[in-house]
Structures are given as C-alpha cells and as structure tokens.
C-alpha cells in the first residue's frame, strides 16, 4: 500500500488552528464572569449593601447567574431597613427583591413596552415568596423618571432610578435606586438558626429514618453546632436507608457517626451554588488525613454526588431556609474510608497493530531524515504555543 503523502506546513496549520480557536472560545466565558462584591467595592457609598449581600449569601447567588440586575441602595438608605432589626433570614428576603433575574440596563429602563412591566426577582425564583409577592413593578414616570416597587406593596412605587453603577450588557447590570423596596411578605419573620429543629424537619419530609439515626448516634449535636454558620444536609430517603441498614449495623459506633456526618457540609449551598460547584466537597466528617469528601458532578439538570463507592442523585429539596438547606438523595453516601471503592471496569484490550506494508518503515525513516516530520512538528509546536499564549492573555485580561 502506498503511504499517504506527508502534510505540508500549511496543511498542518490549517488543521490545528480551528481546534485552537475552539479552545480559545471555550475559555472565553471565564473572562465574562462577574463578581458583585468587587463591583460594589469600587463604590464606598454601597459598602453596607455590599456587606449584607455577602452575609445573606446573595452575593454568591448573583455571581453564579448568567443574566442579572442588582438594584443597589447607598449606606443612608440601608439604615432605614437596618433600624427595623430584622433577622438575617428576613433581611435576605428583603434584599432578594433587589436582585432581578433579567437584564435591565439604563437604555432598557427607558424603553419598557407600554411604559410598565413586572419582573421576577431572586425572592420569587428561590420559591420563598408566596404567590407573586416576589415580583417588582418597573414603570416609566413623567419627567424621565423610572419607579420601582414590590408587587404586593399596594402598587406603591416607593423607589426611583438614580444612576447606573456598572453595566456588562446582557450579563450584569448594577443600578442605584433611591431607597429600599420592601413588602409585608418579605418582612415576615423567619426562624432564627436556634429555632430550627433539624430532626423535626427531616421527620416530616420522608427522612424520618435518617433523623432517628443522627439522634440515636449522637451526631445531631455536630449538625446543630454548625447551623449558625451555614449547613447543607443530604438526607437519604427512608427507602434508601432501609436497604442500607444491614451494612450500617455492621459498623462500629464511631464509624456510624462518621457515616452520618458524611451527609453534612458545613456551609450553606443553594441548588444554584451546587450546580455551579463541580468538584470535591469536604463534609462534617472530614478530619485531616481522614478526608471523608465526595465529588459534586452535574449531569444535565441532575446533581450527582460521587464517593468512589456509590453515586447518589439529588431528588429534591426538603427545606431551603438560609442558613439551613436539606436535600433528599436516592442513595446512602458511602465514604471510601469505610467501604471498598467500586471496581473500575477493566480496560478493553488494545486492538493489535496492523501489519505495516513493506517499505513503510523505510519510507518513514527517509521522511524523518529529510526533516519533514521533525520540522513540521516543530512548526506546529510553535504555532500551538503562540495561539495558546494569546488565548491565556485574553482570559486573564
């Protein structure tokens, strides 16, 4: 068989450049990522608003949204709501009304169809709002003003547009409004962390067996101790736990506690955060060399937890009440520290190499000695290095 002619330098470049350009495009979104904390940090007049976006975990939610509008208020305006001494959970609901899940730049504000519109907020999107109480009314007013008000606040447009703070078109817009928007629904009291009863919550939502185990084992105290700073719990359903009980009974008392603590993460992780945080996650059982971690992996709309022993899928949210969030999962999480890792599938044997036609080896040797293979490879390496450098310079601008 006659060997294929070697690629020319131009041919090799033509093949490699499209792949490298695709790599550049795949890296491009990283350059567009926004960070609301950094944006507001450039404007000291919003320092109080910025602080409470972080304290309520809203900043993390904002940063993970692809399209968002933040209605910021200055320090003087924030004092009015802080004087009410709302709990951190209630304050989160109020501030959630100031995060619109759509893009509104200055130009769009003054071009609203029919002069008025209702738009959904983070308060509505999280499911915390009843009915349509998580919607904001935006209306163009006489004299070029734009009014804002909560939908369930009697139609009162109590805030007006002041100025644009920062705009990255169709990604994030930060606009200043004159005062805090609120409503009776948003200001309704929310339980403080000390009022949350983890076992009672689990027992009412199909996780009674899990609740009974953490109470009986003594693991409950560790869960309770982490509530104040934020806690995410992955609760195996009663059916999944029932099937696992023979294995559980064979564990020592200390290992039973470790297994149960393995289902808790000492930080609040909303579903949106979870979907954005692929990678290794430590747990309440993590202790130095005893890693007790698992990997969060998104599969389309599904969130999967991989332990090297078993892969569980999040099937629903039991409660989302910052600082506590509880998810139901379809399997008990089994750490590799206590159970044998699942055996990897044996690699398929490599297909036998095809016999080379006579003369191929000699032809290849001749090509290399003439510098075609080595020279071409060197040229391609240079081009790859240059293009990758350009890509990285774009990403880190």
Burial 138-168 (b: 16+ CB within 10 A, else e): bbbeeeeebbbbbbbbeeebbbebbeebbbe
Cβ–Cβ under 8 Å, residues 265 and 231 = yes
φ and ψ at 275, to 5 degrees? -70, -20
Instruction: Identify the DSSP state of 371.
Output: T
β-pairing, 264-265 vs 172-177, is unpaired
Cβ–Cβ under 8 Å, residues 150 and 97 = yes
pLDDT of residue 387: 47
- For residue 284, give every residue at least 6 positions away whose Cβ sits within 8 Å of its Cβ, in sequence order, or none: 222, 223, 226, 261, 262, 264, 265, 266
CB atoms within 10 A of CB 125: 17
378 token code pair: 């060197």
What is the signed CA dihedral for 331, 337, 338, 341, rounded to 10 degrees? 60
CA end-to-end span of the chain: 51
Give the Cα separation of 109 and 392 in Å (integer). Answer: 36
- β-bridge mates for residue 146, sequence order: 140
pLDDT of residue 288: 79
Please count the residues of the chain. 397
CA atoms within 13 A on the CB side of 211: 15
pLDDT of residue 358: 42
pLDDT of residue 82: 93
Residue tagged 């609740």 (tokens)? 211
367 token code pair: 């090509």
pLDDT of residue 18: 52
10 token code pair: 């131009």
* Tens-binned pLDDT, residue by residue, of the chain (397 aa): 555 555 555 554 455 555 544 544 444 444 457 899 999 999 999 999 999 998 888 998 899 888 999 999 999 999 999 999 988 888 999 999 999 999 999 999 988 888 899 999 988 887 667 777 889 999 999 888 999 999 887 778 999 999 999 999 999 999 999 999 988 888 888 766 667 888 988 888 788 999 999 999 999 999 998 888 889 999 999 999 999 999 999 999 999 999 999 999 998 888 878 887 789 999 999 987 789 999 999 888 899 999 999 999 999 888 888 788 999 999 999 999 999 876 553 344 444 444 444 444 433 333 443 333 444 444 545 444 544 555 544 444 4
Q: What is the pTM assigned to this prediction?
A: 0.58
128 token code pair: 């915390």
Q: Collapse the DSSP code of 36 into the 3-class scheme (helix H, G, I; strand E, B; otherwise coil) and give the result.
A: helix
37 token code pair: 């904390």
Q: Among candidates 283, 267, 274, 187, which has minimal Cα distance to 228?
A: 267
Cβ–Cβ under 8 Å, residues 66 and 34 = no
The C-alpha R_g of the chain, in whole angstroms, comes to 28
Give the Cα separation of 351 and 238 in Å (integer). Answer: 47
Cβ–Cβ under 8 Å, residues 179 and 158 = yes
89 token code pair: 């959970």
């Amino acid at each position: 068989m006659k060997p294929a002619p070697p690629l020319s330098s131009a041919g090799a470049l033509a093949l490699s450049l499209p792949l490298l350009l695709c790599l550049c495009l795949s890296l491009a979104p990283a350059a567009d990522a926004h960070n609301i904390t950094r944006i507001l940090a450039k404007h000291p007049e919003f320092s109080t608003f910025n602080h409470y976006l972080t304290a309520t975990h809203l900043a993390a939610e904002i940063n993970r949204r692809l399209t968002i509008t933040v209605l910021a208020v200055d320090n003087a305006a924030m004092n009015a709501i802080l004087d009410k001494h709302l709990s951190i959970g209630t304050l989160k609901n109020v501030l959630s009304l100031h995060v619109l899940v759509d893009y509104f730049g200055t130009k769009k504000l003054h071009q609203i169809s029919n002069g008025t519109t209702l738009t959904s907020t983070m308060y509505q999107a999280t499911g915390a709002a009843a009915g349509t109480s998580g919607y904001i009314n935006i209306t163009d007013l006489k004299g070029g003003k734009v009014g804002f008000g909560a939908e369930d606040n009697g139609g009162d447009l109590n805030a007006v547009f002041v100025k644009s703070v920062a705009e990255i078109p169709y990604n994030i817009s930060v606009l200043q409004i004159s005062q805090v928007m609120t409503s009776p629904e948003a200001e309704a009291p929310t339980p403080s962390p000390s009022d949350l009863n983890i076992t009672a919550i689990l027992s009412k939502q199909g996780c009674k067996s899990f609740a009974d185990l953490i109470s009986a084992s003594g693991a409950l105290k560790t869960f309770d101790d982490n509530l104040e700073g934020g806690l995410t719990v992955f609760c195996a359903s009663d059916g999944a736990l029932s099937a696992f009980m023979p294995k559980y009974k064979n564990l020592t008392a200390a290992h039973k506690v470790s297994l149960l603590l393995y289902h808790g993460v000492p930080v609040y992780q909303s579903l949106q955060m979870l979907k954005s945080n692929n990678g290794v996650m430590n747990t309440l059982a993590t202790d130095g060399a005893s890693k007790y971690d698992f990997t969060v992996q998104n599969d389309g709309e599904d969130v999967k937890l991989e332990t090297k022993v078993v892969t569980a899928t999040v099937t629903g949210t039991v409660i989302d009440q910052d600082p506590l969030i509880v998810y139901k999962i379809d399997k008990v999480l089994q750490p590799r520290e206590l159970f044998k890792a699942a055996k990897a599938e044996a690699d398929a044997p490599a297909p036998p190499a095809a016999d080379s036609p006579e003369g191929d080896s000699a032809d290849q040797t001749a090509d290399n000695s003439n510098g075609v293979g080595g020279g071409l490879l060197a040229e391609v390496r240079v081009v790859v290095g240059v293009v990758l450098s350009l890509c990285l310079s774009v990403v880190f601008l």
